Amino acid sequence: MSDFSTKPASDAKDSDQSSSSDEGGSSRHRPQSFWSRAARILRPQQGSRLREDIADALMTDPAAADAFSPDERAMLHNILRFREVRVADVMVPRADIEAVDQNITIGELMILFEESGRSRMPVYAETLDDPRGMVHIRDLLSYVAKQARNKRRSGTKPAAGAPAIEVSPENIQKAPRSAKPNFDLGRVDLQKTLAETGIIRQILFVPPSMLASDLLRRMQVNRTQMALVIDEYGGTDGLASHEDIVEMVIGDIDDEHDDEEVMFKRISEDVFVADARVELEEIAEAIGPDFDISEQIDEVDTLGGLIFSALGRIPVRGEVVQALSDFEFHILDADPRRIKRVRITRKRQAIRRRVKADGDGPPIGDGNDDRSAESTAN
């Protein structure tokens, strides 16, 4: 007798359907873990939704906080969004490009490299709209070293008919060594122009609409780390570097030559410059009680968060934001991912109230007090 019980086909089918229905119903009501959602969205499906589902799971699923650190989640999110980033999003605008004229002298170029802290700069002829390539500080140093090296042979040639000197290990050991290397910087002509040295390298030219990922691949193929962004009229629109693209994924990269920026600086009594990462409480303590953040402190912690919550988006460079009633926030530096640096300016009416409260004198712009003072003096 078989140990397997038998059922009519119809009963078995009904039983399977009811079982699957129960499982489906329970699965609809049971919350799914992050890994369950990840496994589900990684199954073959429409490609247009895959990235969005993974990104949403990373940013909204509570279980993702245990699986990944905040830095890991941010980096994964940047990778998933990287395909949408274009060269225009990462480039340095034309106004901020540091470039050199091809007729600059070697001496001037060395000073410019030292002052700017750059390792490479674009080269142009007369205007930035006529680019000629780029110059690397390593090529410049190599050129200077070659010019300074003494290529003349030391010693004199033996006279004609003189007996040849037998070369032996003893003679080699006793040969005098030069006290100084054959290297003299006085041989370098510092007035020679960059164009005359022949050290200008080719540079990539790309449109602002190009995907940043495509530019990264082109840089790898061409073994270069700089590209000029050209607009539709052939003019220079900006500058994109390998570092700018990589920072879109992993965040800012500061090397040993980058100057550490001050997080918060008082420019005057009513003007301040701050990094967007500075805590709001620190700013309020430095500025004074009129920097009232009592309504925002429960929702945001940093200056960047305050501005973002007021706008609902990342502002662009040069934009002025009204995030607090008595202050204006001028965006000094920002990219599509985050706000970087902000100038905080106290509004004029707030200045009047502050001066009046301090008792330092009459409110600014009030001519009545001046006239009354004159009448009293008379």
Catalogue all structural domains in the chain, each as residue range(s) with its CATH number: 90-150+185-249 (3.10.580.10), 264-355 (3.30.465.10)
Task: Give residues with Cβ within 8 angstroms of 305, minimum separation 6.
Answer: 280, 299
Q: Which residue has the tokens 């605008």?
A: 93
pLDDT of residue 170: 58
| Cα-only R_g, the chain | 34
CA dihedral 283, 284, 290, 295 (to 10 degrees): 110
**Per residue of the chain (378 residues), what is the pLDDT tens digit?**
444 444 444 454 454 444 444 444 444 445 555 556 555 555 545 555 766 777 676 666 666 666 777 777 778 877 878 888 899 988 988 888 899 999 999 999 999 998 888 899 999 998 999 999 999 999 999 999 998 886 554 444 555 555 555 555 555 555 555 555 688 888 889 999 999 999 999 999 999 999 999 999 999 999 999 999 999 889 999 999 998 898 888 877 666 555 556 789 999 888 999 999 899 999 999 998 889 888 888 888 899 999 998 888 889 888 999 888 889 999 998 877 788 899 999 987 767 766 666 655 444 444 444 444 444 444
Strand partners for 183: 149
pLDDT of residue 12: 45
Angle between helix 106-116 and 137-148 (nearest 10): 140
pLDDT of residue 123: 96
E-assigned strand segments in 177-266? 204-206, 226-230, 236-241, 264-266
The string of DSSP letters for 106-161 reads HHHHHHHHHHH--SEEEEEESEEEEEEEEEEHHHHHHHHHHHHB--SPSS-PPPTT
Q: Is 255 helix (H, G, I), strand (E, B) or coil?
A: coil
pLDDT of residue 76: 81
CA distance 214 to 28: 41
- Taking alpha carbons only, the member of 181, 191, 192, 198 closest to residue 142 is 198
